[in-house]
A and B are shown apart, each in its own frame.
Chain A
Amino acid sequence: MSIKVRYFASLKERVGRSEERVTIAEPITAKALWRQCVPELSPPEQILVAINLDYADWDSLVKEGDEVAFFPPVTGG
């Protein structure tokens, strides 16, 4: 199963990439996906998760074809 993972803002700079494609064997939680993609960092508490352009939880399931984004608290406006 192929997943698109995206990183934004300060997190993008910290992990050193803006997006990547990862392969998973079966649906996994966003937290497990993070551990697979960014093993060097435990999931920072303030980091937000979105799946397919909607906010999600660390426990939400990620499946084939999903786009998952990790990003810091938003600061627009």
Chain B
Amino acid sequence: MNALKRLVDENDLLLHEPGRLAIVSVLAAVQSLTFTELRDVLELTDGNLSVHLQKLEKPGFVAIDKQFVGKRPQTSCRLTAAGREAFAKYLQHLEAIVQQGRSRPGA
């Protein structure tokens, strides 16, 4: 069974989309980021980021907390345990593909 088939089986294709993968990669490196920080790091539009976050929130990969800092509302995003696990699996699959390619004769 090849690595891509495993990706499909484990329903990790959600992370395969570049925008969502970028969000998860950034969130995996920190405890949490505000919506604005995430938008600025990734240079995505508000709308684009919102849509991707909603898609990641649905399976519980990302948690979104809304709170007030002073009088201003602030949205912060963090990767959940399930999100970290899915990301780690995704990385393992990528590494497996790279390893497969290297071990193939003539690669």
- A pairs with B: no
Interface on B for A, CB 8 Å cutoff? none
Interface on A for B, CB 8 Å cutoff? none
